Amino acid sequence: MPSHQENASSDVSIKDLREIAANHGFTMSPEDEPGYLALTQAITESVDYVSQLPDYVDPGLTPDLGLDRGSARAYERPSPSENPLNAWMFRTNIQATKPTSALLAGKTIAIKDNACVAGVPLTLGTQPFHLLHGNGSGKRSPYPTPRLDAVVVTRALAAGAAVAGTATCENYCMSARSSTSATGPVHNPWLRGYDAGGSSSGSAALVAVAVVRRWRAARGLPPLPEGLEGLGEGADLALGADQGGSIRIPSSHCGVYGLKPTHGLVPYTGLASLHPLLDHAGPIAASVRDAALLLSALAGYDGLDDARMTPETPLRARVPQYHERLDAAIAERRGAGTWTRDGAARGLRVGVLREAFEIPGLEPDVEAVVRRAAARFAALGADTVRDVSVPAHAETAHCLFAAAAFGHMPETMVYGSAPPGLSFPYPFDNKSTSSSSSSDGETVAEGGAGVEAGTKKKPLTQSWYDTMTESNPLVPSVLLSGEYIRGDRGGRPPRYPAAVRDKALRHVHELRAAYDRALREHEVDVLVMPATLTVGVRHGANGGKMGVREKGDFVLVNSRNTEPFDLTGHPAFVLPVGWGRVDSGDGDAKLPVGMQIVARRWDEERLFLAAAAWEVGGWGLDEE
C-alpha cells in the first residue's frame, strides 16, 4: 500500500505483531517479520494520514440555522408543570427559513431523542456521564451536542414542519416500557402513572395528547387541569425509531398510529444505532392520513446509508406520495359507492396470524379486542378473512433476534462503533449552534464525536453498571451476552463461531420467505395480529422489588409480535382498535389496545388503505 507521507513513521513494532500473532495462535518466521512490519507500517501510515485530514461534512447535511423568532436553535428543558407526562426532553421552535414544500406546513413534530437535531443535546435517554465527555462520577456533565440534523429532521423541516422539541426515549433505547429514562418514567396520557410503552415513549405520548383531549371533548368530559396533573402541550406528529417494536408498542399503548416502514425506506443517517439489521425510523401520528403524510416527507434514498438502504430503496423523486395515493383510493371507492360500512374493505384479503395469538402472556382482553377488530374486516366487505399460520413466528423468530444481532450489538449500541458498510457517522464539535441553560442554571455544553462513534462512554465504569442495572439491566445484558457470544475486547475467545451468526442470517431470510409465502399462498394482502400482549401497566407495579432477570423480562415482554418484522423488514402499522382493562386493581380503568397490520415489503400503501377502511366501521377508541 503506498504511503501518503514521504517522511511518515509508524510506531508499530515487531513486538506488537508477535503479540497479535500469538493471540491468534500462530508464529511468524524471523525472515518474514521484516516484511510484515513494513506492510503494517505502510497501512498505519495511511491511517495516520487520514487521522490528520480536516473533517468532511456532506454539503447536503448542513443545517438551516437561520434565525427563528430571534433565536438560533434555542432550546430549554421544560419545567415539570410544563411537562407533566415527562414526554419532552428539550423544547425548541425550529423552522426552515426556506422550506422546499408545504407538505407539513402548520404542523409541529417531536423528534425522538436518539436523532440528531443540530444544536440540541442528544441524551439517548441515559445519564450524561454514560456518554462521551462525562466524568463517570455521577455529577451533572454535558451531553454531546450534534452540529448536523439527522436526514429525517432535515426532510421534516424542508417540508414545512416546526420541530417543537426532542421527545424522551428509554435508556439507550432498549426498553418496551416507559420506565427506564434517566429523567424518570413517561406517563400514559390516558391514565397517569401508567406505562406509555417504549422506547419511543415520549414521541407516542406527545402525539396522544390531542387525541385524549378530542376523545374527552366528544364525551362532554371536562378538560384535564393544567400543571402536574394535566397533559401539557403535545405535538401533531412525531419521529420514532424501531428495532424491536419501539414505534409500534408505544403507539399501541397510547392509542395512536405508528409505522415501522420497510427496512431501508426511511434513512437512518444521524440516528443512534442498536444494529443496522434492525434499525428503522418512522412516523407516529394521530391519524392514518397523517402517518401517510409524514412518510411521504421522510422516505427515500439519501445516498449516505448503505448499511441499511438497499437497491430496492426508491430515490427521492420516485417516493410515492402515500397520502395522495390514500386520498385517491378513498375517492375512487366513494365514487363507486363502496366506501361504506359494508363495502370499504371490498377487494382486501386479510390473514389473521394464528401464532401471534398463541404467545404466552397475551391478556384475554387484548386477544378479544383484536379478534373482534379482525372480524370487522368481513363486515366491511373484505373478500377474505382467514386464519394464516407461520409457525416460525412463535418458534424461531425470538431466537433469531438474539443470534443474528446480539453478538454485534455491543459494538454499535454500547461502544458506538459505526456499522459495517458505508454510512455517515455524525460529527459533534464545540462550536455552539444553540443557546440554552439547563433547569439548574448550568450551561449545557457541546461535545466532540459522532452519533455512532462517540455518544457512548468509553471505557465503561462501575457507575455505568450500577445505574444501568438499577434502571435498565437489558443494556449490561447486551454487553455481557454479546461479548460472550462473539468474544470480547480483552481477547476472550468467542463462545460460538461466526458460522452460527451466518446461519442465523440465513434463517432470517427463511423467516422473511415464510411471511411472504403466507401472504402469497394464502392469497392475502395483509396479516393482522395484536401489537402488544398487554395494555400499559402501572409504573412500579411490582413494588420496585424485581431482580435483574425480572426487570429484563418486564421491559421486553411486549415485543414478541413486533420484533420479527424488524428482522425481516416487512412494514408493520399499528392503529387503535379498542380498550383493555388494566391489571392493577384500579376498578374499571382501561387503556388502548392496538392492532398490528403487516404487508409485503414496500407495500405501505396497502397498510394505510387497510387501516383507513377498517376505520369506516368506526374509530377504535369509540369502541367502549
173 touches 241 (CB < 8 A): yes
What values do phi and psi take at 109, rounded to 5? -135, 140
Q: Look at the block and give the residue holding cell 423528534.
A: 111
Torsion, CA 206, CA 208, CA 209, CA 211, rounded to 10: 150
DSSP string across 532-547: -SS-PPBTTTTTT---
261 touches 295 (CB < 8 A): yes
Torsion, CA 167, CA 171, CA 172, CA 177, rounded to 10: -80
What values do phi and psi take at 239, rounded to 5? -95, 130
Orientation of helix 322-335 relative to helix 604-616, angle to 10° = 40
* Residue 285: DSSP 8-state: E
State how far the alpha carbon of 533 is from the alpha carbons of 286, 529, 592, in Å: 22, 10, 12
Instruction: Look at residues 60, 176, 182 and name the one whose alpha carbon lies nearest to residue 131.
Output: 182
Phi-psi region of 417 (alpha: psi -120 to 50; beta: other; left: phi over 0): beta
Select which of 203, 246, 296, 436 is catalytic: 246
* Residue 186: DSSP 8-state: P
The DSSP bridge partners found for residue 386 are 351
Sheet holding 257-260, edge to edge: 75-76, 88-94, 162-167, 108-112, 237-242, 280-285, 257-260, 572-581, 590-599, 526-530, 349-353, 384-388
Give the separation between CA 385 and CA 389, rounded to whole angstroms. 13
Torsion, CA 163, CA 165, CA 168, CA 172, rounded to 10: 70
Select which of 112, 456, 457, 551 is catalytic: 112
Q: Look at the block and give the residue holding cell 452540529.
A: 147
432 is catalytic: no
Task: List the grid coordinates of 179.
Answer: 420506565
Instruction: Look at residues 403, 456, 446, 399 and name the one whose alpha carbon lies nearest to residue 173.
Output: 456
365 touches 535 (CB < 8 A): yes
Give the separation between CA 128 and CA 140, rounded to whole angstroms. 7
199 is catalytic: yes
Question: CA angle, 224 as apex, 218 and 226 as ends, to 5°?
Answer: 140
Q: Within its chain, how far is the Cα of 288 from the centroid?
A: 19
Select which of 175, 179, 199, 273 is catalytic: 199
3-state secondary structure (DSSP) of residue 497: coil
Strand ranges (DSSP E) for 100-232? 108-112, 162-167, 187-188, 191-195
Query: Burial code of 558-594, b = ≥16 C-beta within 10 A, e = fewer?
Result: bbbbbbbbbbbbbbbbbbbbbbbbbeeeeeebbbbbb
Give the separation between CA 13 and CA 29, rounded to whole angstroms. 15
388 touches 351 (CB < 8 A): yes
Bond before 459 cis per omega within 30 degrees: yes
- SS3 percent helix, strand, coil of the chain, rounded to 5, is 35, 15, 50
Give the active site residues: 112, 199, 246
